Each structure stands twice: as C-alpha cells, then as structure tokens.
A = this chain, B = another copy of it.
C-alpha cells in the first residue's frame, strides 16, 4: 500500500502574508504536515494547484481528475478548498475510476491556532487506505460518499444529503 497526496490549495494550505495582511498560497505545508505525523507509509506528494476553491473552474477540475487517472497509486488523498469540494468530488465520482479517492480540507488553515487541518489529514489518510474504490469527502470526522454530501455554509459543516 502506498498513498498519493495531491495538493490543490484551499483553506488548509493558506498562509498569512505579513506585507499585505492577506491569506495567500506559498509553498504547500503538506510535506511538513506529513513529516510531523511520522507517517511511515510510502507517500508521493503532488503539488498540482494552489487555489481557493471558489476560483476553480471546469478546467481545474479536469486537471484534478486527470491527476487521479494517471496516479500510479490507487489510494489518493486530495487536499481541496471546502467551498467547492463537493463539485470536484462529483467530477471525479462521475468518472468511475477504480481507485479510492478522498477529498479533505480544513475550516481553519493549518498554520492558524486551533486548526482542524491535521486531524482531517489523518482522517483522510485512514479513509483512503480503508475504503473500497470510490470517491469520498472527509470532513468533520465523517466520511461522505461524493453523491450524498453538501456543505452547510451557514453552520460551516458538511452533512449528508
């Protein structure tokens, strides 16, 4: 068993820019987070995109799907913004790959106090190894099938639909 981790940006990976006061994308925190987690499973990391998921369009989703298709690993974690995580999950889900793909993100950036990012990463690492082939969203300590999930933007949580 080995895992592919694909970074696409999202809140998980945002960083504070002291000069502008904005949250921006710099180098992905994922290699640091995986080292911190003391993971001994072979992991190949692919920094594919660095986008707020509200800025993603069909072309970006096609790129993500393509990255899943050509991944030599059959167990894939995608770190993704929460706002359109469901939309990307639908594109990958509809493709019917024979791989286990788990999308995860964070409501608070990894680099900010009390972030849920590291928990979600751990959850996704387990889900990507233990679930049958399919496409899933891992958030709030739960695993949702790609076609039965929505983000409740008022409450800031994912829920079944």
Contact = CB atoms under 8 A, between A and B. Distances in A.
Interface string A107-147: 11101111110111111111101110000001111110000
A37 interface: yes
A96 interface: no
A125 B104 CA distance: 14
A34 B116 CA distance: 9
Interface string A19-38: 10101000000000110111
A62 interface: no
A110 B37 CA distance: 12
Copies of this protein, total: 4
A117 to B, nearest CB: 9
Given A118-B119, A126-B143, 20 more contacts: A16-B112, A37-B116, A37-B140, A38-B107, A38-B157, A39-B142, A40-B157, A40-B158, A40-B159, A41-B142, A111-B114, A112-B113, A113-B113, A118-B118, A118-B122, A123-B123, A125-B126, A126-B126, A127-B130, A129-B143
28 contacts: A3-B141, A16-B112, A18-B107, A18-B156, A37-B140, A38-B107, A38-B140, A40-B140, A40-B142, A40-B157, A40-B159, A41-B140, A43-B141, A112-B113, A113-B113, A118-B118, A119-B119, A119-B125, A122-B122, A122-B123, A122-B126, A123-B125, A125-B141, A126-B126, A126-B143, A127-B130, A129-B142, A130-B130
